[in-house]
Structure 1
């Protein structure tokens, strides 16, 4: 057991990482291909915004509903099935040229995308302990950036050189390969392999724990008890393997959980911020700053790559600060606000500066995205991880729905400056909400 357990932990991390990155290839391929798609099919910003917003709410619903199902499913088959269904939607999207058909297919694609995060969170929650989650999830969260950056370049290249259709068909083929990979590599809980749960393993082999939390002396631990920290307790901490009934799961661990509500409402605004520049960044740079299709699509690559190192560093920092995910997320939003103001004020002809500030926003936006999702694990039972992640994610994609339709409509009717200014207001709202969680940390 001593040698097999660590190997399986890394296998789970590897397979969920690559599997989730592949989900991005058949989710984020629309924005980089938007210019070619709108030129070929005469889609305006409002139509493109409608595509992203309707898809966003279907993804939020899918993440919530599928998250609940994933808590009782084998992630190996659950995640692979989601990739296969998303691949089929992409194939059909590339074969159609009708807006209503595209809207229908991309909505279903969003729903099936909800089968991606929940099984990953469930797997990592069962294989890694609380004290190492900030750093482990920071490392795993790079999957967002790897997938997003890869499809940002690939989709723009395919749309320009092979037609917008192939920006959907070729990623669909890659997704099918990814589904086969998941069936080969991903596994269920430690108990399903004859191994003890992570809590027992840590007690038997404490030297194997990837404990990146701050090392404290007994005196420091005693002193910390007198500090003004809010600690959220759950009965499941004492019995983490206890199975939950459906009503208990939703009522006691989700609906009556005040921390999840705060993080969920905050996620609403964070997703508006995040996806405004993913969905409309290339189009904004093309329309307002004179960038070419490929140069504008490069903003997506820079945005995603910039977040690679930040999630590791800031995830580790949140562990060092006792799991105070809200406080760390709030601090990340301040440079995002400054960078957005800079992008608005920079005149046309200074694309390098625009891309630089896109990178700054990408660097700081992904830690809050990761930490808000991680809060769903920290502040509920690990038997309710999928439902908690789905609940927080539902609010996030409600925000993306508002962003998709609202930002496109504002850009068409009032211009890009008012549209991006509205994003700035969302940053302020997220900061105010996160201030309520400044000292909130999990029990462990």
Structure 2
């Protein structure tokens, strides 16, 4: 493997007095960091509001359009492939673009497509719009990854990334509860109209609130603000396209991360896609009850992400692999428990499923942070994009494959598929056991 340091040109250490010794300047920096973080959370939660609405509506869509689970699975698979490819392409573009404009435009386009999805007259037209939606959805996280690495230093990145990633669970929980209510009371169309309008409004909010990096508001690099040691991958002059691609692709650690992400997303998206349906069919719940249970899964996932980020920063000193392995094995155990609990034991089922959420969202946070650790803040969009291609290969498998498995042999086969995926994901995390930002050469 090529030594990544050979393609970097480090910036000379700053001779400016540390920013923390200038209180007025430091307060201004802190206010901007808070503003960026809450805007990221609100913005990406809205992306989710315009994405998971399809999942909660699926049982009704199946009856309304007279389609099978396998047919719905094909839509999920096609959308997942488009989303994964889009995250790679848009990740590369975002590394060369202004993150503020890129994210706001992506959410605005998502809002428009989501709104018009409510007028779909056939499953074909809805599927086409949903696939288009997923392309614009892929413009959401790459600019966030870029902003996080520019506004937060390496020694705090695991924790701050986890806080930013709470947007997944916040958006998912709101979607499951609110859209479950809208579908039950007003029909499936409202589960697209309402999120679409909200998406357009929040896109305007993001354009006002976000900034690409500290230099846009006349502030120095974040390592100077935090008096952090300089990550050898994190501070260099602009990379050429060749250097950027070499840093990501000629990097065995990135390939381990990608494979772990694929296994993780088989489970994560498999549950999100199919939970409303298997809770209704396997556990005998109503759609509203299923929505609340998936919301609980998301909320405990929020805590799991925060816990995993903190553990990797504070206990394992920047090593993400050990925490990823622990969480993936625990996830497999929770899936076995949920699968074996009989219908009628709603409290036990909810406990097992919400704990699965805790353990599935921890590794999701670690994937993004590890991508930043093993590459560069200037290549983070591309690195996350590559990891996302594999994530949505896993997601594609959890679409049509799960639909086919259920139609042909029932839910038992599905849970075996999820459990094996969790175990293999843990094995790939184990291959990065000793790797951290300062050891990734």
Counterparts in 2 of 1:31-430, with a 5 A limit?
31-203=55-227, 236-237=233-234, 240-250=235-245, 252-320=246-314, 321-430=316-425
Moved more, 104-113 or 39-48: 39-48
What's the CA shift for 1:200? 2.7
Q: Could you tell me which residue of structure 1 aligns to residue 433 of structure 2?
A: 438
**Do the aligned partners of 2:232 and 2:438 also contact (CA within 8 Å) in 1?**
no
Q: Could you tell me which residue of structure 1 aligns to residue 18 of structure 2?
A: none
User: 5+ residue gaps in structure 2?
Assistant: 1-24
What is the distance in 2 between the residues matched to 1:291 and 1:443?
A: 49
Counterpart secondary structure, 1:437:
coil
Q: Could you tell me which residue of structure 1 aligns to residue 40 of structure 2?
A: 16
For the aligned residues, what is the CA RMSD? 1.5
What's the CA shift for 1:2? 2.1
Q: Which runs of 4+ in 1 moved over 4 A?
A: none
**Do the aligned partners of 1:139 and 1:312 also contact (CA within 8 Å) in 2?**
yes
**Do the aligned partners of 1:29 and 1:168 also contact (CA within 8 Å) in 2?**
yes
Q: What is the TM-score normalised by the length of structure 1?
A: 0.91
**Do the aligned partners of 1:326 and 1:372 also contact (CA within 8 Å) in 2?**
no
Instruction: State the Cα deviation string for residues 346-387 of structure 1 (Å, max 9, x = none).
Output: 122222221211101001110100101111111111100100
What is the distance in 2 between the residues matched to 1:144 and 1:247?
A: 32
What's the CA shift for 1:7? 0.9
What is the distance in 2 between the residues matched to 1:317 and 1:434?
A: 15
Counterpart secondary structure, 2:436:
strand
What's the CA shift for 1:236? 3.5
What's the CA shift for 1:45? 0.9
**Do the aligned partners of 2:308 and 2:366 also contact (CA within 8 Å) in 1?**
no
What is the distance in 2 between the residues matched to 1:409 and 1:261?
A: 29
What's the CA shift for 1:16? 1.1
**Do the aligned partners of 2:308 and 2:363 also contact (CA within 8 Å) in 1?**
no
Moved more, 130-139 or 434-443: 434-443
What's the CA shift for 1:300? 1.4
What's the CA shift for 1:189? 1.0
**Do the aligned partners of 2:327 and 2:360 also contact (CA within 8 Å) in 1?**
yes
How many pairs were matched up?
Answer: 414
Instruction: State the Cα deviation string for residues 306-363 of structure 1 (Å, max 9, x = none).
Output: 1122222221111011111111011011221111111221122222221211101001
